[in-house]
Structures are given as C-alpha cells and as structure tokens.
C-alpha cells in the first residue's frame, strides 16, 4: 500500500488512463492480489489430498440456447470435503462459467473473471464479444500455469449465448486446458474426474433441438452416470435436498433453474432408474 493510500487517498495509478483489463491492472500494480500468483517455492508441490477439489461439470446446447450444470461434491483425497458446493456461476448476463479443480483458486478466479468482464464494459462502454470473453479467460488460466504445475489446477467450462451467431447456433461452449489452451466444443462437453462417463451419457442422449426440459433431464442423467462410476462425483442427495445445479443461458440471459424444478426432474430421473438402472437408451 502506498503512502497516499495509507492516508485515505487512491494512488496515481487509479487516475492514469490505461488498459481496460482489470487483471492487467492488478498485474502491473497489485500482483499480490491475483489468485494466480505462485504460492510455493520452486520444486514444492501441493499434497493432492490437502485441498478441496471440485469434480464434474458439463454443458450442452438446446433449442433456446445452452445449458450448464454441475454436481455438488468437493473431495480431499478419499474424504468428502463439501456436499453442496456451487460450481456453476454467471459471469455476466449472457455468459456462465463452471469449474473443476482446486476449489479455493477456482472461486477466486471466477470472481476475478466476473470483475474483468464488468470492468471492460464500464471502460469501453460495450460488452466483450463471446470470443473475446473466452480468450480473456484462457489468459487468466495461463497465468495460473505455475500453480497448476504444483498440483493446484483449475479447469473451467465456459458457455454463452452469442447474439451474432446464426439461428440455432447461438448457444456456444468453450473448454480449456491447464496451459490456457482454448477449444470450442460442438453440442456438448464435460470436465472433471467424472467427465468421461458424463460425456458418454451425453453422446447417447443428446440430439439437436432439445427442449429445456429434455436438456435438463439429459444433464441430470449424465451427472448420475458420472456419480455411478466416479467416487469424487456426487449424485443427487434427495434426503438432504441437495440436487445438481442446472442453469441455462438464452436470448433473455442467464437463469438458474429453481430448486423446485430441479428437484422434480431429479426425482423423475431417479424413479426411471428403478426400472432401468443403466439409464435411457440412445434416441433413434
């Protein structure tokens, strides 16, 4: 903190024209505040069972836009660290981000990303394009590479509604690797330890032109399959009323499905599993 800030006045850097990126501003003037700063000396790695990790998140496009969902479990090694973690967050009105990986760093990165998008819009007077939002998040992940190499990786999943895209293509999905590699996915994708099983379920259940209800049921089925085969992924906990988080982004913006709706769909899905334990078959 500078002498002027200690006296209750903002430093000169706050009044100097510069970048529209809040992350770049922090990098230049307050790097210690960035969640991506290196926490350990070189050669030191984090013990994998000492920090809560979030697991499975997924997204799929549907008739009106894109749906993004996640289970609620966080684990530390073989322990359940949290049963009701929220892994799906709005980034702005038409963008959402979900995460797998180190929970503490992921939550800080999501908050910083939210500020980044708001800061850009206030400085430039217009929102970023969806492609620019994806590239900006990729840059933030790349800044975390040092921590990822020390065992503290964060792997987000980004979805958004693109008003400039052709009809039926407005819902878009972006995935990333720990080095900030950016990949746009078609139709559906999943990240986290249960993602191979979730993607397998979505490959079976997904079809173009799904309604919101059908897309939500497909997401719940995929998360259920992930929880069946991956101990780090939490299935629905009906007794505790802990259900997956399911959100959609349409032309009208971001909306988290009400808990009553998610609970009803979850109970319907679980009831179906009583007669068909392996889930529904592929749509012809």
Catalytic residues, which ones? 55
SS3 category, 61: strand
Cβ atoms of 271 and 255 within 8 Å: the answer is no
Cβ burial 84-99 (10 Å sphere, 16+ → b, else e): ebebbbbbbebbbbbb
Picking from 251, 248, 273, 276, the residue whose alpha carbon sits closest to that of residue 262 is 248
Dihedral angle computed from the Cα positions of residues 252, 253, 256 and 258, in that order, rounded to the nearest 10 degrees: -20
Helices (H), 125-258: 130-143, 145-149, 195-205, 212-229
Picking from 222, 145, 210, 137, the residue whose alpha carbon sits closest to that of residue 171 is 210
Picking from 59, 131, 39, 132, the residue whose alpha carbon sits closest to that of residue 100 is 59
Enter the tokens of residue 192: 């986290």
Sheet architecture: strand order including 65-70: 188-191, 57-62, 65-70, 245-250, 253-256
Distance CA 185, CA 192 (A): 16
Distance CA 224, CA 235 (A): 6
Cβ atoms of 167 and 63 within 8 Å: the answer is no
């Amino acid at each position: 903190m500078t002498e002027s800030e200690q006296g209750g006045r903002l430093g000169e850097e706050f009044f100097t024209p510069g970048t529209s990126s809040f992350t770049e501003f922090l990098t230049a003037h307050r790097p210690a505040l960035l969640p991506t700063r290196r926490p350990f000396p070189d050669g030191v790695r984090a013990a994998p069972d000492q920090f809560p990790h979030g697991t499975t998140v997924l997204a799929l496009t549907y008739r009106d836009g894109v749906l993004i969902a996640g289970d609620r479990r966080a684990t530390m090694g073989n322990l359940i660290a949290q049963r009701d973690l929220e892994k799906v967050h709005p980034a702005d009105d038409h963008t959402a981000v979900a995460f797998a990986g180190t929970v503490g760093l992921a939550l800080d990165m999501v908050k910083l990303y939210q500020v980044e998008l708001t800061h850009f819009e206030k400085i430039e007077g217009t929102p970023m394009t969806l492609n620019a939002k994806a590239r900006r998040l990729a840059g933030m992940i790349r800044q975390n590479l040092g921590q990822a190499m020390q065992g503290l990786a964060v792997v987000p999943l980004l979805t958004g509604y693109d008003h400039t895209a052709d009809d039926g293509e407005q819902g878009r999905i972006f995935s990333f690797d720990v080095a900030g590699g950016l990949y746009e996915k078609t139709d559906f994708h999943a990240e986290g330890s249960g993602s191979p099983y979730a993607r397998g379920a979505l490959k079976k259940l997904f079809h173009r032109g799904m309604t919101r209800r059908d897309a939500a049921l497909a997401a719940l089925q995929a998360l259920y399959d992930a929880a069946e085969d991956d101990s780090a992924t939490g299935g629905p906990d009906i007794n505790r009323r802990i259900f997956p988080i399911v959100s959609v982004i349409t032309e009208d913006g971001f909306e988290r499905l009400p808990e009553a709706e998610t609970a009803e769909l979850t109970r319907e899905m679980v009831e179906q599993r009583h007669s068909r334990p392996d889930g529904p078959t592929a749509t012809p």
